[in-house]
Amino acid sequence: MEQIKKIDIHAHATAFPQYAAPHVDGYRMVCAEEIFVYYDKLNIEKGVLLPILSPEATSLPMSNENCKWIVDQHPERFVWFCNVDPRAIHNDSKTDLSFLLEHYKKLGAKGVGEMTSNLYADDPKMDNLFAHCEKQKMPVTIHIAPEPSGYYGIVDDPGLPRLEKMLKKHPDLVILGHSQPFWAEISECEPALRNSYPSGKVKEGRLPKLLREYGNLCCDLSAGSAANALMRDREYAAKFIEEFADRMYYGCDICATKNDHPYQFNNFLDDMRATGEISEENYRKIVRENAVRLLGL
The site for Zn ion (CB under 5 A) is made up of 114, 253
Nearer to Zn ion by Cβ, of 164 and 253: the residue is: 253
Closest to 144 in 3D by CA, of 176, 112, 171, 109: 176
CB of 212 to Zn ion, least distance (A): 26
CB of 84 to Zn ion, least distance (A): 16
Q: CA of 92: how far to CAs of 86, 87, 106, 147, 246, in Å? A: 8, 6, 24, 22, 36
CB of 13 to Zn ion, least distance (A): 11
Closest to 136 in 3D by CA, of 94, 166, 98: 98
Determine the number of helices (DSSP H) and then strands (DSSP E) in the chain: 12, 9
Q: Measured at CB, which residue is nearest to Zn ion?
A: 253
Closest to 167 in 3D by CA, of 134, 145, 125: 134
Nearer to Zn ion by Cβ, of 114 and 233: the residue is: 114
CA 286 – CA 136 distance, rounded (Å): 25
Residue 78's DSSP bridge partners are 47
CB of 114 to Zn ion, least distance (A): 5
Nearer to Zn ion by Cβ, of 34 and 243: the residue is: 34
Nearer to Zn ion by Cβ, of 114 and 270: the residue is: 114
